Structure 1
Amino acid sequence: MKKIILSALVLATVFTSCKGEKKEKVEAKEAVKVETNVSELNNVDVQNSIVTWKGAKPTGTHDGTVHLKSGGLLIENGKLTEGEFVIDMTTIKNVDMIGSDGAGNIEGHLSGPDFFDVPVYPTTKFVITKVEDTEGKLAVTGNLQIKDVTKSITIPASISTVDGVTIFKSDVFNINRADFNIKYKSKTFFKDLKDKFVDDLIEMSFVVKTKN
């Protein structure tokens, strides 16, 4: 009999990386066709799950959080097999300047058309298409949708269950916002920015828990 544990994870997005610091990024490929609909597997503990982001430009860095909206994680015979995860882009928060006008300005800019255009695209989605387990470390491949672009990426993660709560946790990883056509002050699209650029890489991590 299959054991199903529901959970959720999601991806949030913002620019990252420090000037002069080389970071590896996950490779963005063409999206994979998904046959199974797991959107009804919805048992995420949105109050105790969080996505974190960190971003940078030559003058400094900023970090923050995005909350989860919904999603499901399917485990069969003790192994992760499928999942669909949604983040609520309306919950983008800046943490390092919390309580200041600066934090509000950053949140507003990220929510606007220069970046994620949240009024038009209020959610981001990640749908798992493949999971490989190598000595306890998961390589989770899935379709990441940001705005109107969907790409397949593979991220490192681990999963555990403690006292009936399943925890899906990612390592820190980076994606390239240019792959998702987010152009604001991107060196990929503009060649004369000098030190006025915003780095293309997005640094992300998450801890996602099921309801008990």
Structure 2
Amino acid sequence: MKKLLFVLLGGSVFLTSCVDNPEGKKAETTDSVSTTQPVAGAGLAVDPAASSIAWLGNKVTGKHNGTIKISGGTLNVQDGKLTGGKFTIDMNSLSNLDITDTAYKAKLEGHLKSPDFFDVAKYPEANFEITSVTDSGSNKLKISGNLTLKGISKNITFDADVVESTPTSFKAKADFNINRHDWGITYPGQKDDAISQEINLKVDLQAKA
């Protein structure tokens, strides 16, 4: 009887630890890449009011989604094509959108900003710097860049769609997943198994002269 109970409990733990990741193609993730080479093209200022990052994470009992603000940056464009750039993410702006209860919403946001997750008091900003851009045709790009989050830099590669590209403006969108463990974002103890390892990010980036 004890052996049977152990097997049943073990199966229960296995089921609760297998949380489906959000829909989305996982970005290829490697070690950070040197960015010492100069970037060609004119610098366009990232427009924080027109740019945004939407996030989505799953858990055993459901999912949560929200936004993080882009505070500034520069994109380089030459002959109407993106050549490089970088932008800064304001981690203190992390917010939840799906919870209507004010107290519960504040509790979740505070927990995500705590040392258990993003530790925004110690790491108030995240940064992304483009290391290469490949034109895939049909207004599609493959972008690689160093994402620095919680003091850890990793190079990620993902697909992006160009919405607008002129000598004085550039707009693009990207939709991809990252594995939070790659940046040391883990919840202490077994409760980490109840949260999806991957986070979906939808980036809407706009820059202008």
Would you say same fold, with TM above 0.5? yes
Q: Which amino acid aligns with 1:27?
A: E
Once residues 42 and 88 of structure 1 are traced to their aligned partners in structure 2, the CA distance between those partners, rounded to angstroms, is 20
Secondary structure of the residue aligned to 2:45 is: coil
Which 5+ residue runs of structure 2 have no aligned equivalent?
Answer: 1-17
Once residues 22 and 101 of structure 2 are traced to their aligned partners in structure 1, the CA distance between those partners, rounded to angstroms, is 32
Once residues 58 and 45 of structure 2 are traced to their aligned partners in structure 1, the CA distance between those partners, rounded to angstroms, is 34
Once residues 19 and 110 of structure 1 are traced to their aligned partners in structure 2, the CA distance between those partners, rounded to angstroms, is 18
Once residues 116 and 36 of structure 2 are traced to their aligned partners in structure 1, the CA distance between those partners, rounded to angstroms, is 34
Once residues 208 and 100 of structure 2 are traced to their aligned partners in structure 1, the CA distance between those partners, rounded to angstroms, is 28
2:102 maps to what in 1? 100
Distance verdict in 2 for CA 1:94–1:49, change over 3 Å: same
1:5 maps to what in 2? none
Cα deviation for residue 103 of structure 1 reads: 1.2
Q: TM-score, normalised by structure 1?
A: 0.79
Secondary structure of the residue aligned to 1:110 is: helix
Correspondent of 1:169 among 167, 173, 179: 173
| Deviant stretches of 4+, over 3 Å | 18-24
Q: Which amino acid aligns with 1:25?
A: K
Once residues 44 and 187 of structure 2 are traced to their aligned partners in structure 1, the CA distance between those partners, rounded to angstroms, is 34
Q: TM-score, normalised by structure 2?
A: 0.80
Q: Which structure has more helix as a fraction of its residues?
A: 2
Aligned 8 A contact 1:133 1:139 in 2 = yes
- Which structure 2 residues correspond to residues 106-121 of structure 1 after superposition, within 5 A? 106-121=108-123
Once residues 92 and 131 of structure 1 are traced to their aligned partners in structure 2, the CA distance between those partners, rounded to angstroms, is 28
1:206 maps to what in 2? 203
Once residues 135 and 161 of structure 2 are traced to their aligned partners in structure 1, the CA distance between those partners, rounded to angstroms, is 9
1:56 maps to what in 2? 58
The structure number with the bigger radius of gyration is 2
2:161 maps to what in 1? 158
- Residues matched between the structures, number: 187
Over the aligned positions, Cα root-mean-square deviation in angstroms equals 2.6
2:83 maps to what in 1? 81
Aligned 8 A contact 1:42 1:70 in 2 = no
Cα deviation for residue 196 of structure 1 reads: 5.5
Cα deviation for residue 144 of structure 1 reads: 0.7
